[in-house]
Chain A
Amino acid sequence: MQGNNKALQSFLIESEENLAQLEQDIVALEREPEDHERIDSAFRAVHTIKGTCGFFGFCHLEALGHAIEDVLGAMRDGKLHMTRDRATILLEGVDFCRALLTLINNDGNDGEHTPEELIQRLREQLEHAEEAPAEAEPEPVASATAEPDAPAPATDQTETGADQGDSPPEKPADASASEQSPRESTVRVDVVLLDKLMNVVGELVLTRNQLLQHTTNQNDAQLVNLSQRLNLVTSELQEGLMQTRMQPIRNAWSTYPRLLLELEKKTGKRVNPILKGGDTELDRSLLEAIRDPLIHLVRNAVDHGLESPQARQAAGKPEAGTLTLSAYHESGNVIVEVSDDGAGLDSDKILRRAIEAGLLRPEQAEQLSERQRINFIFEPGFSTASQVSDLSGRGVGLDVVRTNIEKIGGSIDIKSKRGVGTTIKLKIPLTLAIVPALIVRCMHQRFAIPQVNLMEVVYLEADKQEAEIQTVHDALVYRLRGRLLPLIDMRTILEMGERETQKDQFILVLSADQQEFGLLVDDVRDTEEIVVKPLGKLLKDTPCFAGATIMGDGRVALILDVKSLADYAGVTRQERRLRHADTLPNTAEDNTIRVAENYLLIKPNSGEGRSAIALSKVSRLEEISADRIEYSGGREVVQYRGGILPLIRLNPATDNEEDNEVIKIVVQPTEHGEVGIVVNDILDIVADQNTQISQNASQDGLLGAGIVLGRVTDFIDCDTLVRKALNTNPSAQSEDGNER
């Protein structure tokens, strides 16, 4: 009995696969009716199902399979041509077979009724075959059951097994297994077993690491030799096992032709799919994880991305839209791209909807770049309610797609050009189980940081720390090649201790969710391949950690979850504006005056006014005590880093703040060396894309005034200000005329 069950299970699995094959073939044939290999393949698939049915006595499924087989047989013999209608009927048949299989799986039998109506319609197709020029075969039914020229020998085997009926139950299953890939010799392995093996190999890798560490301290040549060999063998084993879990991404794509066919039918659009890089392999668990998100993206692309044939023609594009799916490897990741040549995204529309949905305030909208605007479609709550159709908008928003991709350590990016098309790019790690990571030290503990998130490491000397790390609004920032990087101190954020200022430190530049931030750590060790282990139920809600691993010395080290760390520290929300502007290339290096800039918002004096200084003109922010101010040539200066730093007051007439103990200085580089602008307070950093600066300010040294974050703000023209201040006597400054 047990054996029979096993055979039945095999049958169900086999049949599912055969149906999938059949489905693919039918869809492919619909596009290319003369592909004989496809016809053969489809025929084989249905033939196997039908044959094995006979053995189990599922007569309804057998009858249906028979009818499908007849139609395909007629096609193979050239008596019938594949048309869209025929493909539809055949696919209906495939669906019905699936339904029957589900029934068999649940109840153990294939129900009460034969789908007479469907079979009848299939038979009707055969009548057309008779009209075909070739002589109609008198009995297509007979030819199907006892196929004399079956394409693959495996088919024959199956059939004999099935027809004899009394053969051992394993036989049909085995036969059809070999039929599945007649060219290769493969075995079917339970996934659970593979996962278990993977775990064991993970253990082995760890033990190997420990052993290697131990042997380096030993003076035993043979031991060292042996451990080296163990090292190699383990690596090979690990690699091999990883490969067994790898599956080509084609598996996830197999259902697309059918999906697209249906989409075409429903939308009336024409789609020309191009699949590239289907052989790209990735871990099966990841493949499962991206299956649904990908389908969603494909649906979206056809439903919203591509235009109707009329609109396409009007736009001078070919009637059929192109949907390109491509997969490839890129620096340890698998990239999957879904791109269409449709209308592209309308960023204004997106913006309007984002505002309607309350995701941003209208006044913020103006500051956003095109890219930022488009990315709003990934925000939770960004509902596409007004364009819900049968196809997309089924409650799974793009935010869910993003969440799912990020859950597996991937990322999602979108590019769109109006009128040209949209490309969505998924970046997916190769495997989840073993990842390369950088080991860092914070206090007495080691942490692993996934290499994927690591952009660079910056060494920070203790005596330069004070100068290079600044504080804006209690937040640490580090100036990295001209841009400000939000910093997180690992000790503080993990509540392990106070910030270390006496010793050399390292800044890890990390990226998560397309945003960069720095992490201050005590020391950087080595990069290692680590085995990711879950933290377990008790600790699943602990923030900042993705899991744990076991180091070479057998101790446990926690794996940092960079994304979750960023969220926990608040850099994601808080610095979002800052971040996007930061990632624009060369913002700071670009010294021409442009309106899209990052600005440092300051209070020029004790009054209510606000000013903005272009960040590219700022090299450091300093606080010094007021009594350090000295005078040179009638000008205020301070000793600064072994040099003399001239100070400029923004508003000499009203500035009477000698009583302030601490003055704040914005240090600026000029052609004459650095100067310091004395400000009352430093408020914030804003990324401003397109604030209108009106030239109505009367005072020189100002570019003009504009509205930033809902308040009128003076934009300081640093070049003029500095030139003027350095060339003139401070006492005459207020009367000085325009120099520009």
Chain B
Amino acid sequence: MNAKQLLCTFTVADKKYGVPVDIVQEVLANHQITDIPLSPAGIQGLMNIRGRIVPAIAMQRVLRVSSENHDDESINIIVNHDSEQVGLMVNRIGDIITVDENEIEPPPETLKGATRRFIHGVIPVQGTLFMLLDLDALLADELCSRSTGNAFSNVLQ
């Protein structure tokens, strides 16, 4: 018996990605974002989602890709992760697709670089490849959570 999974798909720099639909709370467009000084580079800022403070992840930056179409990352997909909410800033939102678990293939060997770390697997749907995002890996990335980086110290020294 194959479990069906619903994926919410979206586009970042012309590539298509998907996250399980059950973790998606809502999708917002052009939401107001406040910068956070000294924050990790992958975090665009903070949003007010009905009174909750939610960080917005600049997906292009974290996935280390750039868009040829110069699309704005104006769509925010609010996902629940680890009992907190996180906004993924993407270029475009796609359809909800249904996939069989056994349709998910491991990421191809040819997929290199930073992206590979963040991908669970790929799903070919009618000639288009959808990459299934691994949110745990994505949010643990150095661009998303501050580690020992940032050598800036002691302006008064």
The reply to whether B34 and A570 form a contact with Cβ atoms under 8 Å apart is: no
A682 CB → nearest B CB, Å:
15
Selected A-B contacts with CB under 8 Å, 13 pairs: A203-B50, A495-B37, A495-B152, A534-B53, A537-B82, A537-B84, A538-B43, A538-B139, A538-B145, A539-B145, A541-B147, A542-B146, A574-B157
- Pick the most buried of B39, B45, B51, B154: most chain A CB atoms within 10 A of its CB: B51
B132 CB → nearest A CB, Å:
21
Complex alpha-carbon distance, A493 and B52, angstroms: 27
Give 20 new A-B contacts, CB below 8 A, not counting A474-B155, A493-B155, A571-B156: A207-B51, A445-B34, A445-B35, A494-B37, A534-B53, A538-B55, A538-B84, A538-B145, A539-B55, A541-B145, A542-B36, A542-B38, A542-B39, A544-B37, A548-B34, A548-B53, A554-B48, A556-B53, A557-B34, A574-B157
Interface string of B17-55 (1 = CB under 8 A from A): 000000000000000101111111001011110111111
Inter-chain CB contacts under 8 Å: number: 103
On whether A550 and B51 interact (CB within 8 A), knowing A538-B43, A570-B155, the answer reads yes
Please name the 7 residue pairs, one residue from A and one from B, whose CB atoms are nearest each other, closest first: A494-B37, A570-B154, A556-B34, A475-B156, A541-B146, A203-B51, A556-B46
A662 contacts partner chain B, Cβ-Cβ < 8 Å: no
Interface string of B131-157 (1 = CB under 8 A from A): 000000001000011110000111111
A683 CB → nearest B CB, Å:
15
B81 CB → nearest A CB, Å:
9
- Pick the most buried of B32, B48, B153, B156: most chain A CB atoms within 10 A of its CB: B156
A543 contacts partner chain B, Cβ-Cβ < 8 Å: yes
Q: List A contacts of B39 (CB < 8 A).
A: 539, 542
The reply to whether A575 and B156 form a contact with Cβ atoms under 8 Å apart is: yes
Q: List B contacts of A541 (CB < 8 A).
A: 145-147
A289 contacts partner chain B, Cβ-Cβ < 8 Å: no
In the complex formed, the residue of B with least CB distance to A531 is: B51
The reply to whether A488 and B155 form a contact with Cβ atoms under 8 Å apart is: yes
Interface string of A471-490 (1 = CB under 8 A from B): 00011000000000010100
Main secondary structure of the interface of A (DSSP, over half): mixed
A286 contacts partner chain B, Cβ-Cβ < 8 Å: no
In the complex formed, the residue of A with least CB distance to B85 is: A536
Beta-carbon contacts under 8 Å, A502-537 to B: 533-537
| A533 interface neighbour in B38, B43, B52, B147, Cβ under 8 Å | B52
B63 contacts partner chain A, Cβ-Cβ < 8 Å: no
Main secondary structure of the interface of B (DSSP, over half): loop
A517 CB → nearest B CB, Å:
9
The reply to whether A536 and B156 form a contact with Cβ atoms under 8 Å apart is: no
In the complex formed, the residue of A with least CB distance to B34 is: A556
Interface string of A556-584 (1 = CB under 8 A from B): 11100000000011110011000000000
| A545 interface neighbour in B32, B36, B84, Cβ under 8 Å | B36
The reply to whether A556 and B157 form a contact with Cβ atoms under 8 Å apart is: no
A448 CB → nearest B CB, Å:
12
In the complex formed, the residue of B with least CB distance to A477 is: B156
The reply to whether A574 and B154 form a contact with Cβ atoms under 8 Å apart is: yes
Beta-carbon contacts under 8 Å, A364-416 to B: none
The reply to whether A569 and B156 form a contact with Cβ atoms under 8 Å apart is: yes
Complex alpha-carbon distance, A557 and B47, angstroms: 10
Complex alpha-carbon distance, A557 and B46, angstroms: 9
Q: List A contacts of B90 (CB < 8 A).
A: none
B86 contacts partner chain A, Cβ-Cβ < 8 Å: yes
A202 contacts partner chain B, Cβ-Cβ < 8 Å: yes
| A539 interface neighbour in B36, B47, B153, B154, Cβ under 8 Å | B36
